[in-house]
Amino acid sequence: MSQTSPPPPVLPAATAGEVLALIRSGQAATRGALARATGLSRTAVNARLTALADAGLVLEGAEESATGGRPATTLVLNSAAGLVLGVAVGRSRSQLSVCALDGTELASVSLDQETGQGPDVLMPLVVHHLDRMLDELGRSGDDVRGVGMSLAGTVDPAQAMSVDSPALTGWDGVPLTPYLREVTGAPLTLDDDMRVMALSQMPTAGADVAPTVHEHDEALVLKASTGIGLAIVADGRLVRGHRNAAGQLGHVKVPAAEGLRCRCGETGCLETVASGWALVEQLRAAGDDVHHVRDLVAAAGRGNGRARAVVRDSGRHIGEALAATVTVLNPRTVVVGGDMAGAFDTFSAGLREGVFSATTALAGRDLQVVPAAYGDRAGLVGCVRLALDSVLSPRAVDTALARQSFRA
């Protein structure tokens, strides 16, 4: 009896949202390329493009050169179809941004704030500046499609609130969406500052800075600033942990910190010997005029020997704590962000010393230690990408089209 091959699997037809994702990423920029990428007929491709064009999401661009025949018209995301807001809240500084749908920044502001400000004090100030920037651009909250926001510590994305943040007093358990309703009814996407920083390091279409974390990469993204945190990237994806609390490196117990009280209430945490707040306390006790980790980093940059020594020691302590993770996960890259990256050469020298003295030769053989792309704006860039990925995901676009709620 002759055997017959099983029929090929039936693939689900690409949706309009998936078609937009191909256009947005640059993977397919013409009708023909979309048909080849999706397996859809030209008629089906045109139907999806019509829905996207009617919603103001897709425009026809320049004609693409072709060998023989009529040139194909390229398709582009309509960056003017809406806005997204980025809000990166830190312990002593918050950064805000208004961006077009292609990520182009239209306005931004950096707000220095007193440490310990709760949401009832800080969030109205954030809303005021977002509203002011929109007004200066001649836009309103109705133009906003989404808000991406980050907080230090563990967050609950579903409830859009902090659940465990030693760095931000009074924020735990406070929903943040009601505050933003004063400026826009657009959805809020919340994540912690470490993973948002990691998001800014990954490749994205149209980025003007080369990524430090590549597609399908294994990497660790370290935020060394007032506090210490770690984002873990496995096969190009962020690792969140069972309770969304992966990466709390600053509260790993280390021998050098034995008996030292941490701001989290425990003793022996890495932060007590390596974080910005601890190093500032150490230098102030020695008579140095420093009030923030940025002052410390600036002093190190000016050649202050004591500042350079504590920055290098910080890197070494963190490297020793990180060595086991490097050995177990075998990342290709450790990306250094946060304020301590402002003294990258000094800090990374200590970090390398700590990691390579305690990891295996194989795990350390090809390991790269590099500064974060976008410098001190990495967190803000990540917040914008968080909003864009949420608003322009295939599912979000398809839902908006079904509700006819996405209009330029």
Task: Say what the pLDDT of residue 1 is.
Answer: 46
What the block records as the tokens of 55 is 């919603």
Across residues 364-381, what is the average pLDDT? 96
Integer-rounded Cα Rg, in Å, for the chain is 24
| E strand or H helix at 228 | strand 228-234
Strand bridging mode 219-224 / 333-337: parallel
Q: Which of 112-116, 214-218, 351-355, 396-400 has the weakest average pLDDT?
A: 112-116
Is the pLDDT at 70 greater than 70? The verdict is no
- For all residues of the chain together, what is the average pLDDT? 92
Across residues 94-101, what is the average pLDDT? 97
Q: Could you give the CA distance from residue 243 to residue 249 in angstroms, rounded to a whole number?
A: 15
Helix (H, G, I), strand (E, B) or coil at 153: coil
Which of 383, 284, 274, 389 is closest to 339 using CA atoms? Answer: 274
What the block records as the tokens of 294 is 């940025």
Give this prediction's pTM: 0.91
Amino acid at 310: V
Across residues 32-43, what is the average pLDDT? 94
Beta strands in 279-320, from DSSP E residues, in sequence order: none
More confident residue, 109 or 26: 109
Across residues 290-308, what is the average pLDDT? 94
Across residues 289-313, what is the average pLDDT? 94
Task: Say what the pLDDT of residue 67 is.
Answer: 52
Strand bridging mode 144-151 / 188-192: parallel
The answer to whether the beta carbons of residues 172 and 154 sit under 8 Å apart is no
Across residues 127-145, what is the average pLDDT? 98
Is the pLDDT at 2 greater than 80? The verdict is no
| E strand or H helix at 387 | helix 378-391
Is the pLDDT at 147 greater than 80? The verdict is yes
Task: Say what the pLDDT of residue 187 is.
Answer: 96
Across residues 61-84, what is the average pLDDT? 78
Is the pLDDT at 9 greater than 60? The verdict is no
Across residues 163-192, what is the average pLDDT? 95
pLDDT level of residue 6 (50, 70, 90 thresholds): low
Is the pLDDT at 104 greater than 50? The verdict is yes
The answer to whether the beta carbons of residues 40 and 28 sit under 8 Å apart is no
